[in-house]
Every structure is written in C-alpha cells, then in structure tokens.
Amino acid sequence: MGTAMTDHVVAVLAALPQEADAFFPDEGAHDARGWMPLRTIRAGAITCIVATHGIGKVHAAAATMALAERFSPRLFVSIGTAGKIGRAPGDCFWLESAVQHDYGAANPDGFLPYTAGSWPMGPATVEPFRAMPDPGVGLPHARIASGDMFVACPDQARSLHEGLAAELVDMETAAMAQACALISAPWAAIRATTDGADGASADDFAINLAAAARRAGEAAERLVGMLADGLHPSPRA
C-alpha cells in the first residue's frame, strides 16, 4: 500500500453537537436517524464519518463498535474538549495516550486504578492505551484520564495528575481507545481545554465550549488533510 490514504473512511467521534459541528463546520450530509447523528464529509480521498455519540464511556465505546461494524474505518479520531489537570503549556493537545481513572478496586486504603479490562486484583498497574504516532499536527502532547464523572474538584484533579501522569481529563477518550484495542484499530485524539477541573469548571466549560471545540476541530482538519495528502503512512499500511 502507498503512503496516501486513498478512498478510506475516518471515523470522527464527538460527545456533544458543539464538538462535532466544529469539525469542517457547515459541510457534509446529515443523517439523524437512530441514536447517533452522523455527518458525512469528503476530504480529498478520505470520507469522514462524524458521529455525535453522547456523553460518557459507554456512549463512546458503543459508538466505536457501531461505526466499526457499519463503516470499517481505517482510523478513529476522538475530538472535543477536556479539563486541564496538569501544568503542560498549551490549550489544545494531541493525546498520545489514554487511561481510565475510574476502573480499579475500592479497597480499605482507598481506590486503586488498574488497566481497563484487566483483573482489578493483585499489584495495581495501569498500562495506557497508546494512540497512533503524531504525523506532525503541531500540537503539544499529553495523556488524558477518562472516567464517568465530571471533575470539578482541585483535589481530585491533582490526584489524577499525580497518580496517572495525566494532563487532561474527560469522559470518553480512553473508552474509545479501549474499544479500538479490542478490534486492533488505530486511533487518535485531539482535545482543547475549557476549564481547570476545579470549582469554577461548570461555568468555565459553558463559556469556553464553542471556542475550544473549534480549536480541536481545526487541528483534526489538519490531521485529515495530512493523511489525505500522503504526509503520513496510513495507520494500517
């Protein structure tokens, strides 16, 4: 196979309509049937299926499997927003790895995180799910911690940052990554920050959602353009 992605499908996943709509805004054909609205966009030789799947890990994993079954994408890309729990400079990140912060064991001494899908017993280890190599999108790199909770507590944010070496937190990316691992599919993720995962997060998220979603959307557009132009080997080459 050559270096260009020719006539292939890329699945672009977003939890919220604002996040999905920020990717190639006002382009493509819409399909609102079923539980997951879709938008189909042609970007050179690539067909992008943009899915708005809803909030949380179950929605993200279910969307990944549904899209895999229906479209057989060559790449899954999660886009959208996140809370910033570390000190890495920047406000939009290429996610090189993802972990689930709420998978593990509740013991008398506290909560112990484990690799998602592994036995939550014995020595507590967390092996991150790793994204495809960055083709040069021009973003700082970070690890994200995903869980089914909206983190708006500085103590919780600090614990996740220190315990899991994560710079960002969201509710979907690591679940998509785990689903991709199950089907041996490559994935990428781009997240822009809306808040500091603290007491002001709810208000900050609402205020910054549109601008942050567009930052992530623009970066994802660059990624797709690079793949279409053959600037990076196809993830399954």
Q: Give 102: exposed, middle or buried? Use CB within 10 Å, 0-12, 13-18, 19+.
A: middle
In the numeric block, which tokens belong to residue 67? Answer: 């899209």
User: Into how many domains does the chain fold?
Assistant: 1
- Mean pLDDT along residues 132-157: 97
Report the pLDDT value the prediction gives residue 230, as an integer from 0 to 100: 75
Instruction: Find the mean pLDDT for residues 165-187.
Output: 98
Q: Has residue 109 got a pLDDT over 80?
A: yes
Give me the residue label for tokens 């970007």.
Answer: 43
| Exposed/middle/buried for residue 143 (C-beta within 10 Å: 0-12, 13-18, 19+) | buried
Token pair for 72: 């057989």
Distant-in-sequence, close-in-space partners of 17: CB < 8 Å, separation ≥ 6: 37, 52
What pLDDT, on a 0 to 100 scale, did the predictor assign at position 3?
33
Q: What φ, ψ does residue 198 adopt, rounded to 5°?
A: -130, -165
User: What band does 197 get if pLDDT is binned at 50, 70 and 90?
Assistant: very high
The predicted pLDDT at position 137 comes to 97
Place of tokens 């315990």: 163
Query: In this model, does residue 233 exceed pLDDT 90?
Result: no
Gap between the Cα atoms of 85 and 25, Å rounded? 29
Q: Look at strands 141-146 and 92-100 and give their pairing.
A: parallel
Domain annotation covers residue 85: yes
In this prediction, residue 148 has a pLDDT band, given cuts at 50, 70 and 90, of very high
Q: Does pLDDT of 1 surpass 70?
A: no
Q: Is the pLDDT of residue 221 over 50?
A: yes
Q: How confident is the model at residue 229 (pLDDT cuts 50, 70, 90)?
A: confident
- Average pLDDT along the chain: 94
Given this model, what pLDDT does residue 212 score? Answer: 98
237 assigned to some structural domain:
no
Decide if 3 is inside a domain.
no
What is the enclosing helix (H) or strand (E) of 144?
A: strand 141-146
Residue 206 half-sphere exposure, CB side, CA atoms within 13 Å? 3
- More confident: 234 or 153: 153
Q: Residue 7 pLDDT > 60, yes or no?
A: no
Looking up residue 76, the CATH number of its domain turns out to be: 3.40.50.1580
52 burial level (CB within 10 Å; 0-12, 13-18, 19+): buried
Q: Which structural domain, as residue segments, surrounds residue 209?
A: 8-228
Asked if residues 5 and 74 have their Cβ atoms less than 8 Å apart, the reply is yes
User: In this predicted model, which residue has the larger pLDDT, 134 or 6?
Assistant: 134
Residue with tokens 């959602």: 209
Tens digit of each residue's pLDDT (9 = 90 or more) over 68-103: 999 999 999 999 999 999 999 999 999 999 999 999
Lowest mean per-residue pLDDT among 1-5, 30-34, 113-117, 202-206: 1-5
Indicate whether 113 belongs to any domain.
yes
Q: Which residue has the tokens 């089914």?
A: 148
Tell me whether residue 233 is in a domain. no
Q: What are the structure tokens assigned to 138, written together?
A: 């021009």
Report the alpha-carbon distance of residue 87 to residue 13 in Å, rounded.
26
Domain for residue 106, yes or no? yes
Tell me whether residue 31 is in a domain.
yes
* Cα dihedral 55/116/160/214 (nearest 10): -40
Q: What is the mean pLDDT of residues 116-139?
A: 97
φ/ψ of residue 192, rounded to 5: -110, 150
In a domain, 216, yes or no: yes
pLDDT of residue 62: 98
